[in-house]
Structure 1
Amino acid sequence: MTLGWWLHGLVRVLLALALAYYGVAKLVLGQFGVADMGDALVAQGEMSPMGMLWRLVAFSPLFQVLAGLAEAGAALALMWRRSVAFGALLAAADMALVLVLNLGYDVPVKTIALVLLVMSLVVLGPWMPRVARSLLGHGAIPAGPEPALIPGRPFRKVTDVAGPLAGIALLALVAWGVSALYPARSTDATPPAGVWVVAQDTAEPAAQLSEDTRWQKAAFGEVAYDGTARAQVRRADGTLLDGTYERTGGSTVELALREQRDPGQTFAEHAASEQLTWTLTVQEHADGSLRLHGEGIDLVLSPDEDGRVLYDRGFSWGLRPDDPFNR
């Protein structure tokens, strides 16, 4: 049985490492990011199913942290002999939910979620009769098995202490590595951050609306990663430009946008597509409007209050006069 427990222990460790990776990625709000106004112009019909899921989860840091705690907590529980069954049960619940989400929103890592779910059930296997008896409520609950990697009581005393400590140290190393993967996040809510509609444009309109490349709306994020924040522009012809902007000092920003990725277009093909760049000067007016000018662009932007309801509404425990506000 010792060989069986070694194989069982190997599956336990691999499962714990995977759970720690995904758990910490959620705890640091790295896997899904955070919802930001720089993504405000994309329409529901333009989203992919995966994109909809990512935006849904990104909007709720609470959901991300709770999911991260569940996964990281399962990883920690798997490291200690007395809590293996609980950790495997929690991991199975975690991975079942992840698999359902991956299937429902067509996330391409369905197989990984399925494998982790199966691994959770394999780890739980030796305790399944005990779990089943406790859930069904028939008869006495039998004593649980005692994993023994090394036979002999003196050795077990050592492994009972050294094993969990080594496992926790390994998980801590994984957590440190995962948190270092993601760039530093900062927030700057000063203009041009916000959602804007073009009120004035010095450019002449095209003869046909389908050929009109003037800006209609613009959205600039307030959450930056290593100094770069999300930005989008909706043109008069309906085209959505998506990319980033960077504050380069004073009142100047550098904008880099591409047309949004098309279905069937690979990530590499989209990255190689034409990128439009502007260096623009931002001037804030007393009435709250904004002037953007430079490199063929000269616009006056007005705040689009309807375009930022999702980001401004916030949370309220009590009922508000307009509740339920479901639009």
Structure 2
Amino acid sequence: MTAPSPAAPSPTAQPDDYATEKRLARTAAVTLGWWAHGAVRLLLAVAMLYYGVAKLVLGQFGVTDMGDALITHGEMSPMGTLWRLMAFSPLFQFLAGLAEFGAGLALLWRRSVALGATIAAGSMSLVLVLNIGYDVPVKQIATALLVMSLLVLIPWLPRLTAAFLGRGPIGRGPLPTLVPWRPLARITQIAGPLAALVLVGLVGWGVSSLYPERSVDETAPAGVWTVQEDAAAPAEQLSEDTRWSALAFGEVEYDGRAAVQLRRADGQLLTGTYVRTDEGTIELSLKPPREQGQTLQEHSALEPAELTLRIQEQADGTLHLTGEGQDLVLAPDESAMVLYERGFSWGVRPDDPFNR
């Protein structure tokens, strides 16, 4: 009895194996592509959340304060002009931060990735224009974030293009799939949003803790003041006159310290901070503003002048300032307070248009 001959190979076995291998290779390539896409998306989301929270808490630009009132427009750097412009409008800061924060949130959920990347691209386009226009030294970061936003948008670009051009109905967009195996994918669909919420909380807490506690103290000496009387005699030449001509004390305190500026008769500006030590006594820390071409390290190394002064409010609204060789009477400078007291009005005022 002869042994049975082996079964002849099926003519379809080899093509089926090839099709399976091709399908697996395609799945692996698509999965790796989504993982690379997800890495860029995660980095972009963290960056957008970071900058968004920094603006929402009014930390990145701060708030306008009269302690910055004495610097003239010509003395400002382009970046300083932008920072003061942004600081003047908490509403603009908040809305800009809301757009960036919202983009970061949308990027963390796969069904809203296209929306988040679109908002991020629009926000970073504006930021890049501002950075270029006002010479802010983070142009490369803004450019990188804009490029990342466009990279994240690539899978949806054909549909977005069709939508903008109005070419018929728009089909359903792709859904990022990091795990092609369905049993595990069900777990990641639950764990992913939970991890995203934890990430949002950590970024929000971390960024908020970067900025010192802010408070407002409107009591004297907060305000802008000009020297009305000075017990010291003037110098023979104005260029040699180091007497004080004006002071600006801020009302917004960061960990108890507020901004202060001092203008001398010879024109020199000194900037720094002051703190109320007890009733009627203040301590000032002053140094010249940073010069063009001077590095941040060089300016930080300058030893500030530390002054302790006594402030006494008088019945006519003036301040008597003494200490450190000074005996001055300060009068409020109403003209220098227009920026801080003008406020907002829906209606037309008698002095409108007011553009100076």
Same-fold status (TM-score > 0.5) = yes
Amino acid paired to 1:238? G
TM-fit CA distance, 1:154: 2.9
Residue 81 (structure 2) aligns with: 52
Residue 43 (structure 2) aligns with: 14
Amino acid paired to 1:49? P
Q: How far apart, CA to CA, are the structure 2 residues paired with 1:14 and 1:82?
A: 18
Q: How far apart, CA to CA, are the structure 1 residues paired with 2:149 and 2:60?
A: 22
Residue 319 (structure 1) aligns with: 348
Amino acid paired to 2:143? L
* Partners of 1:58 and 1:64 within 8 A in 2: yes
Residue 2 (structure 1) aligns with: 31
1:191-249 CA-partner distances (Å, limit 9, x unpaired): 10000010001111111100101111100000000000000011100100111100001
TM-fit CA distance, 1:158: 2.5
What secondary structure sits across from 2:278 in the alignment? Answer: coil
What secondary structure sits across from 1:271 in the alignment? Answer: helix
* Partners of 1:81 and 1:160 within 8 A in 2: no
TM score, norm. by length of structure 1? 0.98
Identity of aligned residues (%): 67
Q: How far apart, CA to CA, are the structure 2 residues paired with 1:261 and 1:152?
A: 59
Amino acid paired to 2:121? A
* Residue 169 in structure 1 maps to residue 212 in structure 2: no
| Unaligned residue ranges in structure 2 (runs of 5+) | 1-29
Amino acid paired to 1:209? L
* Residue 189 in structure 1 maps to residue 233 in structure 2: no
Q: Structure 2 matches for 1:1-327, cutoff 5 A? A: 1-327=30-356
Amino acid paired to 1:212? D
Larger Rg: 2
Please give the root-mean-square deviation of Cα atoms over the aligned residues, in Å. Answer: 0.9
Q: How far apart, CA to CA, are the structure 2 residues paired with 1:64 and 1:161?
A: 34
Task: Give the length in aligned residue pairs.
Answer: 327
More deviation, 125-134/268-277 = 268-277
What secondary structure sits across from 2:149 in the alignment? Answer: helix
Q: How far apart, CA to CA, are the structure 2 residues paired with 1:129 and 1:262?
A: 50
Q: How far apart, CA to CA, are the structure 1 residues paired with 2:55 and 2:231?
A: 45
More deviation, 118-127/266-275 = 266-275
Amino acid paired to 2:46? L
* Partners of 1:246 and 1:253 within 8 A in 2: yes
Q: How far apart, CA to CA, are the structure 1 residues paired with 2:151 and 2:194?
A: 23
1:43-95 CA-partner distances (Å, limit 9, x unpaired): 00000000000000000000010011000100000111110000000000010
What secondary structure sits across from 1:248 in the alignment? Answer: strand
Amino acid paired to 2:259? R
What secondary structure sits across from 1:78 in the alignment? Answer: helix
TM-fit CA distance, 1:146: 1.3
Amino acid paired to 2:319? L
TM-fit CA distance, 1:153: 2.7
Amino acid paired to 1:297? Q
TM-fit CA distance, 1:274: 3.8
Amino acid paired to 1:292? L
What secondary structure sits across from 1:178 in the alignment? Answer: helix
Q: How far apart, CA to CA, are the structure 1 residues paired with 2:193 and 2:355?
A: 48
